[in-house]
Amino acid sequence: MGRLQHQEVVGMVQTGWAGLGWSDPPVLWSKVSRKERKDLVVSEVTRIEQEELRVKSVAQGQQGRWTTWEGVASRAINWADFWKLPQARLSFLIRATYDTLPSPRNLHQWLGTEQSCDLCGTINASLQHVLSGCKTALTQGRLTWWHNQVLRKLAEVLEKCRQEANSQRPSGSQQRIHFLRQGEPAQHSSKRPPSNLLTSGAEWKMKVDLGRQLQFPQEICSTTLRPDVVLWSAAAKSALLIELTVPWEEGLEAAYERKMAKYADLVAECRESGWSVRMYPVEVGARGFVGSSTSRLLRDLGLRGARLSKSTKELSEEAEKASHWLWLRRRDKTWGATFA
């Protein structure tokens, strides 16, 4: 209780890169009901326990690597999902997160013998090498298949958003005037409607770099670059460029910056042609942890609450399942559509 009262004295603070006032205002101890005070105490005790566990994790050089991840959205698995997950996948998820799978590097540390990648022969290869860094796996198309599995799921989510936007009437025709009865007080709402980059009824089109190479829409501009997804509307003169990366979790921020730099000239060229263009590099980690950039894209497309959680969960599970399959096939030197 003392910590909660102290927080009220300190006032509103901000952590991370966001500016002051970006987060929701704090709940003040002196202005809540008895039941709400009980909930605050439970939340504060939980937060204290999590802080202690995090301090312990930071001291663990290998199993605590997740504490250094930046730009990664937290992932929670409830008990219902816990019991539904196959035992092999659950074991892979936990052991991959804390890097305790029998990778060549771990076997070298545990047994003291030289181990190597079964595909390329790299000595004492790490789990990162096995899942996302093996050149033989890249040449065989394993990593491309892995990327496309996640991209296909992302395209399904985007297609639903596109269809909903096209099926709605233009936003201007939905405005209404609300009249009040005599003596009835006016009600002012401070809540703003959720933003949505896909303008209603603007006949949005979408191209995805799956199956065959994507050809960038010539009506926007001419380029040889191929973003994974292009959403555009000639009526709104607007376009969204989306580039998916499935990196190792420690490299999410670097992947974001790399993709932004790669497409910076294309975005500038499109804007010179009179188009309003937004570039969205999105990342889904190899072990199924979704980058905050992915959540930002889904929110900007109007997904909120349960829909946002469901879409994020689907992307996370798709990446995790694909990585599990790559792990199971790490010793098989053959690869083809029959197996994938």
Nearest 10 degrees: CA dihedral of 292, 217, 166, 309? -20
For residue 51, name the pLDDT band (cuts at 50, 70, 90): confident
9-49, pLDDT tens digit by residue? 666 665 555 555 555 666 776 777 877 778 888 887 887 77
Residues 77-102 have pLDDT tens digits of 888 888 888 999 999 999 999 899 99
Report, in angstroms and rounded to the nearest whole number, the Rg of the chain calculated over CA atoms. Answer: 24
In one-letter notation, the amino acid at residue 124 is N
pLDDT tens for each residue of 207-241: 999 987 888 999 999 999 999 999 999 999 999 99
Average pLDDT over residues 187-198: 57
In angstroms, how far is CA 168 from the centroid of its own chain?
27
pLDDT grade, residue 339 (50/70/90)?
Answer: very low
Exposed, middle or buried by CB within 10 Å (0-12, 13-18, 19+), for 127?
buried
Q: For residue 82, what pLDDT is reported?
A: 85
pLDDT of 168 reads 83
- Whether the per-residue pLDDT at 262 is higher than 80: the answer is yes
